[in-house]
Amino acid sequence: MASYYFLLFVLVTAFAFSEADDNELRPGFYGHSCPKLLSIVKQGVLKAIHNEARIGASLLRLHFHDCFVNGCDGSILLDDTNSFIGEKTAVANNNSARGFNVIDEIKANVEKACPSTVSCADILALAARDAVVTLGGPSWEVGLGRRDSMRASRGDANRSIPAPFLNLDKLKASFANQGLSEKDLVALSGAHTIGLARCSQFRAHIYNGTNIDPSFAKSLQSKCPRTGNDNLYQPFDFQTPTHFDNLYYKHLLAKKALVHSDQELFNGNPTTDKLVQKYANDNQEFFQAFAEGMLKMSNINPLTGSKGQIRINCRKNN
């Protein structure tokens, strides 16, 4: 009897420890099962950016929009099914989220090398990092071992992804909901050093905004009319939109943010104003804070262990 209890104790303890291990993402997760993973993803990202520099920005944003909706679980990559409407047509994503084909191509190459082994969520996390590095930004070590969700929700995406007309308190609340701080908000918004935004997303800011340089507003008004041209694009960083640097923060100091939410970070709040000034003055400070923020964002609520699945095609459940 005593040995029976001892055995039970050993099993329960072992199980508890293996569960604890399973829940930790770790860089070496595929070290044996898919040793070529990192180089396959890197090659795919390099090829895509060589083809079109903007795609680096799109991949970074795709990861952000994945993580903010019930965790980094590849949910954004799922197409609609009979049982759910997915995230691709949510307000923030419709006619806007892009890079799905790049992830598909990388996934196909990963499947060839290591079938049914690597999650789409992990591929997206790696692709976002590689995109930032390729465009001149900082690097960080991506923990791996996420699994893919089996459902997606447009409603959840509508609720969780912050909109560009939010004020600072709402932006902070949106990030706090994900366990991210005010500092993370300011540092991660620096992602807008790359990429573009549609007219519809900054029209109110350039026509009615109270905290925008007048000549900057005017020059944008000449491109984005009061009505129409909703899908016309302008760069967030009008000087180096395909180079990852701290110019974004210098533009905020000059009241030359493209969207309202960005200028909210430098609009009289002492804490965020100081952070914007710090990152504008010191690229290294920005890079370090951005990498730290990305690590935190990439770790939001992953599915691990036996939860979810390893999708074979990122667009649908197996």
Ligand X SMILES: *[C@@H]1O[C@H](CO)[C@@H](O)[C@H](O)[C@H]1NC(C)=O
Residues catalogued as catalytic? 65
- By CB under 6 A, the residues from 78 to 107 that bind ligand X are 85, 89-91, 94-95
**Residue placing its CB nearer to ligand HEM in the complex, 153 or 263:** 263
Q: Specify which residues 196 forms β-bridges with.
A: 235
Q: Are 74 and 146 in contact (CB under 8 A)?
A: yes
- By CB under 6 A, the residues from 147 to 176 that bind ligand X are 154-155, 158
Q: Are 315 and 78 in contact (CB under 8 A)?
A: yes
User: Pick from ligand HEM, ligand X, none: which does 197 bind, CB < 5 to 8 A by kind?
Assistant: ligand HEM
In sequence order, the 6+-apart residues with CB closer than 8 A to the CB of 184 are 175, 289, 292, 293, 296, 297
DSSP state of 147: B
By the rule CB under 6 A, 207 interacts with ligand X: yes
What six digits make up the tokens of 153?
């929700």
Q: Cα separation of 132 and 210, whole Å?
A: 32
| Residues lying near ligand HEM in the complex (CB under 6 A) | 54, 57-58, 60-61, 64, 96, 98, 162-164, 171, 185, 188-189, 191-192, 194-198, 201, 259, 261
Minimum Å distance from CB 109 to ligand HEM? 22
User: Buried b vs exposed e over 208-236: b needs ≥16 C-beta within 10 Å?
Assistant: ebeebeeebbeebeeebeeeeeeeeebbb
User: Pick from ligand X, ligand HEM, none: which does 171 bind, CB < 5 to 8 A by kind?
Assistant: ligand HEM
By the rule CB under 6 A, 14 interacts with ligand X: no
**Residue placing its CB nearer to ligand HEM in the complex, 54 or 154:** 54
Minimum Å distance from CB 131 to ligand HEM? 9
User: Pick from ligand HEM, ligand X, none: which does 221 bind, CB < 5 to 8 A by kind?
Assistant: none
Q: Are 49 and 190 in contact (CB under 8 A)?
A: no
User: Pick from ligand HEM, ligand X, none: which does 158 bind, CB < 5 to 8 A by kind?
Assistant: ligand X
Nearest to 74 by CA among 125, 140, 127, 128: 125
Minimum Å distance from CB 269 to ligand X? 24
User: Pick from ligand X, ligand HEM, none: which does 203 bind, CB < 5 to 8 A by kind?
Assistant: ligand X
Minimum Å distance from CB 208 to ligand X? 4
Closest residue to ligand X, judged by C-beta, is: 155
203 SS3 class? helix
Position among 203, 251, 256, 260 found at the interface with ligand X (CB under 6 A): 203
Q: Specify which residues 316 forms β-bridges with.
A: 313
Minimum Å distance from CB 118 to ligand HEM? 22
**Residue placing its CB nearer to ligand X in the complex, 94 or 271:** 94
Residue spans of alpha helices (H) in the chain? 2-22, 37-51, 55-67, 100-113, 120-134, 154-160, 168-176, 182-189, 199-208, 214-221, 247-253, 260-264, 270-281, 283-298
> Residue numbers of the site for ligand X (CB under 6 A)?
85, 89-91, 94-95, 154-155, 158, 203-204, 207-208, 226
